[in-house]
A and B are shown apart, each in its own frame.
Chain A
Amino acid sequence: MIMAKPKKAEEIISRVKDFSRVLVAGCKGCVAICEAGGQKEVEVLASAMRIHFSQIGKRIEIDEVSLSRQCDKEYLQELADSIDSYDAVISLACGAGVQFLTEMYGEKPVFPGVDTCFIGVTEEQGVWSERCQACGNCMLGETGGICPITRCSKRMLNGPCGGSENGKCEISLLVGRDVACGWHLIYERLKKLGELERFRRPSEDKDWTASRDGGPRQIIRKDVRP
């Protein structure tokens, strides 16, 4: 799922301080799971904003809503009747949701309430880690189900590099936490599977046009189009 982290309340407040009616719009999708932009977070942010503005004697009306998703028009449509009564919207959805909301209601200023970070997993409560960079050309079948594009800091197609030590990436020192060497993980995994032969043949050149190198991506599937 898409992982995000909440932006600082003061940053959000500074964006909307000059409006008189603001809507805080959450998303019950990915950002709710990573506790950044779901209904609970909408309630907390809106309440904190109301406290702040009432404390400084500013009358700003702040309403709350949480949509099932903000990356689908049918759910964004739910705002159609009420959005005109607001001067601005703070969207706690991922970057995709914020942009789709902007596209649908072009007249309305929309501000992000979260920083969208990566596609990842919940390792444990409160710990989320990156697992996929959406390169558009999945090679997990070749690498024992561990992604070298995501798990290797250098995105190497053939590793490990010389910076790997005791299974840890050299970047660990830089980021101040242990980062597993992606290719070490792949090696250990392929050893378990009895597929170490894989290391005898280098990975084929990767088609990066399926990644960001080909510009903004789009999928059109005639079989599911109406």
Chain B
Amino acid sequence: MRLSYPTNLRIVKVPCTGRVAAIHLLRAIEKGADGVFIAGCMEGDCHYQEGNLRAKKRVTYIRGLLESIGVDRERVAMYNLSAGMGPRFAEIAQEMTDKIRQLGPLVKSTNAGKEVVA
């Protein structure tokens, strides 16, 4: 398909989004990412039954935690798409990058616009 998506995105592959713990989202931010999104399977389509639903809960928790410490909750997000939805992935990557660019770098001195996707 030769789709293009922003180059500032760093992909961290996990066997299932259920593997992504709350600390992984925070560590990504702590280590310089200005935003993180989890790209999980469609709800109801998890090979492990509820991995993506667990990830969703953790994202909700971390968004609340970030807000409480003065960080915009929009910096962490959960998306659901299947492995066959390449164009949607590129779209999400662009959407998230635009959103984070708008919010600006979390810490002024670190690399701006870096994102991590799991």
Chain A contact residues, CB within 8 Å of chain B: 8-10, 13, 40, 43-44, 47-52, 54-57
Contacts and interface: CB of A to CB of B under 8 A. Distances in A.
The majority secondary structure among interface residues of chain B is helix
Given A40-B23, A55-B106, A55-B107, A50 B30 contact: yes
Contact of B70 (A8, A40, A43, A56): A56
Nearest to B29: A51
Interface string B8-36: 00000000000001110011011000000
Given A40-B21, A40-B23, A54-B107, A48 B70 contact: no
Contacts of B27: 47
Interface of B: 21-23, 26-27, 29-30, 65-66, 68-71, 106-108
Contact of B23 (A13, A47, A49, A52): A47
A10 B66 CA distance: 10
A48 B69 contact: yes
A9 B107 contact: no
B23 A9 contact: no
23 contacts: A8-B68, A9-B68, A10-B69, A43-B23, A44-B23, A44-B26, A47-B23, A47-B26, A47-B30, A48-B26, A48-B69, A50-B30, A51-B29, A51-B30, A51-B66, A51-B69, A51-B106, A54-B107, A55-B69, A55-B70, A55-B106, A56-B70, A57-B108
A10 B23 contact: no
B112 to A, nearest CB: 14
